[in-house]
Amino acid sequence: MKKNSGAKFAVILTLMIFVAVALIVVLNNKDDEPISETSSKTPPSIEGQPIFGETDAPVTIVEFGDFKCPACKAWGDTVFPKLVKDYIESGDVNFAYVNVPFHGQESVLAALAAESVYEQDPSVYWEFHKILFSSQPETAKHDELWVTIEKLLELTSNMPSISPEKLTLDLEQELTMPKVEKDTALYKKHGVGVTPTIIIKDKKISDPFDYEEIKKILDAELSAVNE
């Protein structure tokens, strides 16, 4: 009887070790997996991304967005100005934008253009960002074609530092595609499945339009920084 329970214990112990090892293997693989549904434990790297606000602000908000996405336009028109007024102008928080071209070829074209403008003159990037979203047709007809090379050239025509020849080349020959692919790798790493997705440090905001939730997280992050 005693021997029997000892054998049982050995079997259970072996099973427990097996489960623990399997769990470790699964968790490790999860970290290496480029397409993960779970948010990465580390904040998104914003290296090489356009930054709005003070570059040395202690807290960064990262938007994963798409110029072709109506909800992203709505977020930029409603939530973003509040963030600028309450957190960004003071230098406490800055804002980075990462392309997530979810809406087909037009999304890709818009992202290629944004990367070209940022590469040619970072100081006009946010102006371009704003007029590109403003050019998006009303939500009801957002499926209509509007992002074209002609349109993108028109939007930059009053920006002397943006070369139309360079922009045309970047779009036609997809010369800024490596930058767009870098963004793609980043959104996949952080399990972004919808646009806009807002991440603050390592926290993904469940509803990007819930300003109170964003405020709560920002205030907590800022008080942790000031401690």
Which residues make up the interface to Ca ion (CB under 5 A)?
A: 49, 183
Least distance in angstroms from the C-beta of 29 to Ca ion: 28
Question: Taking the complex as a whole, how short is the minimal distance between the CB of residue 205 and Ca ion, in angstroms?
Answer: 20
- 121: closest CA among 88, 163, 150? 163
Q: Which is nearer to Ca ion, 49 or 120 (CB)?
A: 49
Q: How far apart are the C-alpha atoms of 71 and 227, rounded to whole Å?
A: 36
Report the nearest approach of Ca ion to the CB of residue 162 (Å). 17
CB-wise, 49 or 60, nearer to Ca ion?
49
Residue nearest to Ca ion according to CB distances in the complex: 183
**Amino acid code (one letter) for 153:** L
CB 92 within 8 A of CB 222: yes
Measured from the CB atom, the residue of 188 and 215 that comes closer to Ca ion is 188
Classify 186 as helix, strand or coil: helix
Tell me the DSSP string of 81-147.
HHHIIIIITTTSEEEEEEE---SSHHHHHHHHHHHHHHHH-GGGHHHHHHHHHHTSPPGGGTTS---
| Closest to Ca ion by CB, 83 or 114 | 114
CB of 150 to Ca ion, least distance (A): 23
What is the closest distance, in whole angstroms, from the C-beta atom of residue 56 to Ca ion in the complex? Answer: 20
Q: Which is nearer to Ca ion, 70 or 101 (CB)?
A: 101
